[in-house]
């Protein structure tokens, strides 16, 4: 079943449930079907979210140089990434910060580097 159909079924059953009187013989079956499809939708959405988080952490792991710790550990979740600016001697230096959770928070503070070798750009994050 394609993923796009699940929300449609949920909306269809929700609309059918609203328009069915409680005394109708099929009301309880419709209500039960709605609850089942709601649970399926929640499960599918959570699975997709976990997969996207796994791919994000895998991309981060591949792009870090000078970082020996393995990020892909069961129970560890990606929370946020963004640019932070460090002001030093009247200059602003942009850095990247990754926030990852495992029971404690892991902050990875790194510099974004783009190198060009034979007209091919490579970008990675350098830990210092």
* Overall domain count for the chain: 1
Query: pLDDT by residue (tens digit) across 83-111?
Result: 888 888 888 888 777 788 877 777 777 77
Phi, psi for 48 (deg, rounded to 5): -65, -45
Where is 123: in which H helix or E strand? strand 120-127
Please give the residue range of the domain that contains residue 60.
Answer: 5-127
- Per-residue confidence (pLDDT) for residue 115, from 0 to 100: 63
Query: pLDDT by residue (tens digit) across 23-70?
Result: 999 999 999 999 999 999 999 999 998 899 889 888 888 887 777 777
Query: pLDDT by residue (tens digit) across 109-126?
Result: 777 776 665 655 555 565
- Per-residue confidence (pLDDT) for residue 29, from 0 to 100: 95
Contact 128, 111 (CB under 8 A): yes
Compute CA distances 103 → 34, 77, 81, whole Å: 36, 10, 18
Give the global pTM.
Answer: 0.68
Give the contacts of 45 (CB within 8 A, at least 6 positions apart): none
């Amino acid at each position: 079943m394609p993923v796009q159909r699940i929300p449609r079924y949920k909306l269809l059953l929700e609309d059918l449930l609203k328009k069915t009187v409680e005394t109708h013989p099929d009301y309880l079956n419709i209500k039960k079907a709605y609850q089942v499809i709601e649970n399926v939708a929640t499960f599918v959405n959570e699975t997709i979210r976990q997969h996207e988080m796994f791919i994000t952490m895998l991309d981060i792991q591949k792009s870090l140089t000078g970082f020996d710790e393995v990020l892909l550990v069961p129970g560890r979740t990606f929370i946020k990434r963004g640019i932070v600016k460090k002001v030093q001697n009247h200059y602003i230096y942009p850095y990247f910060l990754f926030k990852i959770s495992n029971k404690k928070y892991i902050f990875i503070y790194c510099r974004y580097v783009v190198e060009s070798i034979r007209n091919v750009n490579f970008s990675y994050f350098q830990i210092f």
